[in-house]
């Protein structure tokens, strides 16, 4: 090994010994540092995997909640029915026409709650209930249709009471009151019950 640098002198051997000793210390320190950094990156990876899984779980739970909400039927509670009857009873013999979807049982069942309310409030249901099957997509939500002559200057007292109660219970959107010259005759309110909106809980 005589060709190694500093091999044949005390000073050279000492210098190279010290050099490689410190190199070894630095390598050991680098190894320790590498282990610490690797461990931290491993922990961070686990955190990211857990966060990603949590997001997936939350998204799945939201889909399940939305599905359950769509499957839950719209119905009027006994208390809501009583409040509807109380609000509509001051206007007996008001003519009301009902239209619902013949191909959606949930809409038909919801309509039956209104039949009870109108009958109990002594409103006059004209021609029973019309069951329709649209050629295209099913209409969504509840709509009130009145003749323009009954809405001149604002709704009639009976129509106003019905609209207020429907809005109060979150059943009727403000844009679902249709004033028309032809879809329903003067003096008759038309209540259309479509399919359940996906936003309704």
Beta strands in 65-172 (DSSP E): 95-101, 124-132, 142-147
> Do 19 and 97 fall within a single domain?
no
Is 199 within the bounds of a domain?
Answer: no
Residue predicted with more confidence, 63 or 127: 127
Of the candidates 138, 139, 148, the one whose C-alpha atom is nearest the C-alpha of residue 178 is 148
What phi and psi, each to the nearest 5 degrees, are found at residue 182? -135, -25
121-132, pLDDT tens digit by residue? 999 999 888 888
pLDDT at position 67 = 62
- Residue 101 makes CB contacts below 8 A (sequence gap 6+) with 107, 108, 131, 132, 133, 134, 138, 139, 193, 194, 195
3-44, pLDDT tens digit by residue? 677 667 777 677 777 777 888 888 888 888 888 888 888 888
Query: If DSSP codes are grouped into helix, strand and coil, which group holds residue 99?
Result: strand
> Do 31 and 125 fall within a single domain?
no
Is 201 within the bounds of a domain?
Answer: no
pLDDT at position 182 = 80
With a cut of 60, say whether residue 120 has pLDDT above it: yes
Which range marks the domain in which residue 86 is found? 78-193
> Do 181 and 145 fall within a single domain?
yes
149-195, pLDDT tens digit by residue? 888 888 899 999 999 999 999 888 655 888 888 888 999 999 999 88
Of the candidates 118, 120, 130, the one whose C-alpha atom is nearest the C-alpha of residue 194 is 130
pLDDT-based confidence at 65, cuts 50/70/90?
low
> Do 33 and 112 fall within a single domain?
no
Report the predicted TM-score, pTM, of the whole model to 2 decimal places: 0.62
Domain count for the chain:
2
């Amino acid at each position: 090994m005589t060709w190694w640098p500093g091999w044949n002198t005390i000073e050279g051997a000492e210098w190279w010994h010290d050099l490689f000793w410190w190199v070894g210390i630095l390598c050991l320190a680098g190894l320790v540092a590498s282990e610490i950094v690797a461990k931290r990156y491993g922990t961070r990876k686990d955190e990211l995997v857990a966060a990603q899984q949590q997001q997936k779980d939350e998204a799945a739970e939201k889909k399940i909640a939305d599905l359950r909400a769509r499957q839950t039927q719209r119905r009027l509670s006994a208390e809501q029915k009583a409040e509807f009857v109380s609000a509509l009873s001051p206007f007996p013999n008001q003519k009301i026409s009902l239209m619902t979807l013949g191909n959606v049982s949930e809409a038909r069942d919801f309509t039956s709650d209104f039949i009870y309310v109108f009958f109990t409030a002594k409103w006059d249901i004209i021609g029973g209930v019309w069951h329709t099957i649209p050629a295209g997509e099913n209409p969504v939500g509840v709509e009130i249709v009145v003749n323009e002559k009954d809405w001149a200057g604002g709704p009639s007292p009976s129509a106003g009471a019905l609209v207020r109660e429907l809005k109060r219970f979150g059943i009727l959107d403000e844009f679902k009151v249709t004033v028309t010259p032809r879809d329903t005759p003067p003096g008759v309110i038309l209540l259309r019950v479509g399919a359940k909106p996906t936003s309704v809980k």
